[in-house]
A and B are shown apart, each in its own frame.
Chain A
């Protein structure tokens, strides 16, 4: 039981009559880069926000790092990092000021905080941009600083919601190199994306459609089981099977 990073069972979120997330169940082991796939509006962000304790589920249960998402959602927070789809650091503060702020909130101070920021600036090659207001930076750099803020406190799991949205291919590739390094160091990644090439970097993926999880598995096995050439085709074939009228 405690070996799972994320367990969800029958998780639902309804906004009025609309079920944004409709009874999804999932188990994610430690040591995985888990890809949470789906088209826009499939319910990925809603699901992640429930796992991070930002949104109260309508029904269903789950644990993150062993903590109950319905009752112990505040206990989840010290051990997770979250990078939202929309850039959500303070645009009028510099990257360093943002990191200092978040570091202190997570309980880092003084030399330890300074050291950790220096380590991240070095590791993510941020030195050129770290002392400029983040609002004025190119998207790719902003996202790197946002990642730095999300992993500042060395969380066990990092939830990344479309971390490479609006970023050019070179930046995306570099960003994934950083994610791989993180995973190698033992951080668990839970990533949403709709880039299929990125999905192939994941150890396991789930595909979500209209609030439901359609399939879960290793990318290569999913492709093989359908007898198709690549993940892109597999994704399209799976989604069209579901129909568009629900």
Chain B
């Protein structure tokens, strides 16, 4: 009972301090908006509207038809360049064009005679990912054009259907990721800083000389940041759903419940960082290092499957990896415990291990 009052007093004190620090408050509540809006718009991995310069040296009916079919989708924006084909470098360097289609003379005649009709697509390869996607589109369009020109019935037709994210919007994929990243950042950083700041200011010593119990202290120091973490997460979700219109397929209680489990990992990490550092700069550095590692190997930007095998194994050391899959699974696919149990089990283990480690390392008395 007495411990409960102590925890309450610490939580009250902590909130008073947070709300009295204007800069901190601004950071805490602006961060989710900025992150969402910036990442939501900037990290658009969809490849569309590739500016393509057309050099049609054939000027035949078929060459014009081919150009038209290239521009039919939303993929290529075809226009003629006022520069010579020899000045391609300049066009690419100024980013006026990112691709060029060169149709040689006799393209139409060759095609009509049933000969091979080469045409070149030259793509700016500095972004290997979008270049590859552009090449893929062009190949598909050319194949279809071939069949039409030859009057053949399509041999194999793949009807594509995207499940879960049917418009293939990368923002639908990013927002759940941002939610997971935000929760990690805010709780690890704020918890470690809040404890280390007290050590630096000398106020921690005054608390340690009281009969406060270690669990009461840890709870009182972490509950406020768990609450702030949930507020951040809810803000991010609200912006994602109301502004970006992302769908939410799964169960809300499951998402929040599992987030609470995950918080033991991040809060534990925050406490752990505070036990190995003595200044706010050091704590900031350690927290930053953990967060960068966690984000990079979580599959937030690049899919884990694309990583080299060694790095893929390293990702298992990252608790955020599992939480990321859980959040995306629940939000995008409506996944439940029956399909997420492996990730949940891994996350529970991490939470238990990291939080216990933090509790063991935290001591009221200096050695």
Contact = CB atoms under 8 A, between A and B. Distances in A.
A224 interface: no
Contacts of B9: 100-101, 104-105
28 contacts: A54-B208, A54-B209, A54-B366, A56-B366, A73-B365, A77-B209, A77-B211, A78-B211, A80-B209, A82-B206, A84-B205, A84-B206, A86-B202, A88-B201, A88-B202, A88-B205, A89-B203, A90-B17, A92-B16, A93-B16, A100-B9, A101-B10, A102-B206, A104-B5, A104-B9, A105-B9, A107-B2, A107-B211
Interface in B159-217: 201-203, 205-212
Contacts of A92: 16-17, 20-21
A55 interface: yes
A97 B205 CA distance: 18
Interface in A192-245: none
B17 A93 contact: yes
B8 interface: yes
Contacts of A30: none
A52 B50 CA distance: 71
B367 interface: yes
B342 interface: no
Contacts, number: 77
A27 interface: no
B364 interface: yes
A114 interface: no
A87 interface: yes
Given A54-B365, A149-B206, 16 more contacts: A52-B209, A53-B364, A54-B364, A54-B366, A55-B365, A73-B365, A74-B211, A74-B364, A77-B210, A88-B201, A88-B205, A92-B16, A93-B17, A101-B10, A101-B13, A102-B210
Contacts of A129: none
Contacts of A53: 209, 364-365
B6 interface: yes
Nearest to A93: B16
A91 B210 CA distance: 19
B101 to A, nearest CB: 65
A91 B20 CA distance: 11
A92 B17 CA distance: 7
A59 to B, nearest CB: 13
A107 B17 CA distance: 22
Nearest to A78: B211
A77 B217 CA distance: 15
A109 interface: yes
B17 A105 contact: no
Given A74-B364, A104-B9, A105-B6, A54 B205 contact: yes
Contact of A104 (B8, B17, B205, B366): B8
A74 to B, nearest CB: 7
B201 to A, nearest CB: 7
A13 to B, nearest CB: 10
A77 B205 CA distance: 12
Contacts of B17: 90, 92-93
B169 to A, nearest CB: 44
Contact of A106 (B21, B208, B210): B210
A86 B10 CA distance: 21
A230 B145 CA distance: 110
